[in-house]
Amino acid sequence: MATLFGDLNPPHRILMGPGPVGIDPRVLRAMSMPMLGQFDPVFTTYMNETMELYRQVFQTKNKWTFLVDGSARAGAEMLLVSMISPGDKVLVPVFGRFGHLLAEIARRARAEVVEITREWGTVFTTAELTAAIEQHRPKILAIVHGDTSTTMAQPLDGIGEVCRKHGVLIYADATATLGGMKVDVDGWKLDAVSAGLQKCLSGPPGSAPITVNERVADLVKRRKHVEVGIKPAGFIEGDGPIIQSNYFDLAMLMDYWGDSRLNHHTEATTMLYGAREAARVVLGEGLDACFARHRQASAALTAGLTAMGLQLFGDQAHKMPNVTGVVIPPGVDPDGVRNMMLNDFSIEIGTSFGPLHGKIWRIGTMGYVCRKENVLACLDALEACLRKFGFKPNAGAGVDAALAAYK
């Protein structure tokens, strides 16, 4: 007898952690559309449309704007592995877990990594970043835009300009921010940016939108090598060092997404349908309206938490609008509260990593989940759970303050 287990029947959760979040029903619907062959003209048209949609989401004219199949770090890894040649100096400002991740990926790509660090809950000033660029003269600055581990958003406006002046390439990880706050790729002169679907874009994890400009395209074209089995007659290899990963070879991906349609992997059809629809959802609402919705939810949630007598985590001037850190009151069992939120209210809020573990909860208001009724339900549930675990919030104050903020 085969072991079959039961039909899938997951509970309906309200996902208010730092991602993934609930998927927009339009995205789910798109993902149930029929499979197409990867060179079917209908499908290649969808690929081209997806490129154009993400140019608008990234606010860029970059030709090379497409999807990497994999979770958000696949986008980060593809860009870093393709941009870094062994021995290149890469500067990584670290202000949370995901700065450490970029440093680790760069190290695995055999870069000479220079890290500068800030206490979690803070960000770097432009002057600090400028000084580090001038001191270390890296080939690449790899920086996180919004770090969900601390809830902070690093201002990038102006940094791209400094990089350009010094001949440095800038890569930014916008996984947590794309669709939730401004990511102005061309305006901020960012050379390479990656993201993921599962946060403010209201899609599932598994597809990483990326964009690169011609500075990066030129760099990787010099490292271009094509698999022997599909090498076109007369193809001349780039004279630079081969990119160490086949799956994450930007030059080969450009050939696959570009006019030559030179086969690489088999594009994840269903993920492309979802990513395409996710972009249409955001652009249909309007980028500015979408950012305003995230800001409004953040204002209501933070007003509610504060009115309950809780303390917000980190430098509030630089908090991302889509995720909020709240200090766990002394004596309260962090996991007890989270488990009760999940089991009794079906609301998921996030725990924390590293130095913040056990010290803060992270409450996400991202994408499809970023709605008034969810903010109010979360505050209501949190009040009941806190009371159960020995903290006495100001009764009713959280929901009242959030309602007032929404007015």
Ligand X SMILES: Cc1ncc(COP(=O)(O)O)c(C=O)c1O
End-to-end CA distance of the chain: 60
> Which residue's CB is nearer to ligand X, number 180 or number 393?
180
Q: Is 258 in the site for ligand X (CB under 6 A)?
A: no
Q: How far is the CB of 20 from ligand X (least distance, A)?
A: 8
Q: Contact, 96 vs 136, CB < 8 A?
A: no
The residue (of 22 and 196) whose beta carbon lies closer to ligand X is 196
Q: Which residues pair with 346 in a beta bridge?
A: none
**Interface with ligand X includes 348 (CB under 6 A)?**
no
Residue 366 touches ligand X, criterion: CB under 6 A: no
Secondary structure element (H or E) that encloses residue 229, with its range:
none
Across 280-313, b (16+ Cβ under 10 Å) vs e yields: bbbeeeebeebbebbbbbbebbbbbbbbbebebb
Among 57, 92, 94, 176, which residue interacts with ligand X (rule: CB under 6 A)? 176
Nearer to ligand X (CB atom), residue 368 or residue 391: 368
Does 196 participate in binding ligand X (rule CB under 6 A)? yes
User: Are the C-beta atoms of 288 and 381 separated by less than 8 Å?
Assistant: no
* Minimum separation from the CB atom of position 95 to ligand X (A): 11
247 near ligand X (CB under 6 A)? no
**Integer Cα distance of 35 and 190 in angstroms:** 35
Q: Binding string, 58-97, against ligand X, x = CB under 6 A? A: -------------xxx------------------------
The widest CA-to-CA distance across the chain, in whole angstroms, is 75
123 in contact with ligand X (CB under 6 A): no
**Alpha helix stretches (DSSP H) within 31-142:** 41-57, 72-83, 97-108, 126-136
Candidate list 82, 148, 154, 302; residue touching ligand X; CB under 6 A: 148
Binds ligand X by CB under 6 A, chosen from 17, 79, 120, 147: 147
From CA 202, how far away is CA 366, in angstroms rounded? 8
**Quick one: which of 95, 98, 313, 391 contacts ligand X (CB under 6 A)?**
98
19 binds ligand X (CB under 6 A): yes
**String of DSSP letters for 189-211:** T-SEEE--SSSTT---SSEEEEE
Q: Which is nearer to ligand X, 19 or 325 (CB)?
A: 19
Which residues make up the interface to ligand X (CB under 6 A)? 18-19, 71-73, 98, 144, 147-148, 173, 175-176, 196, 205
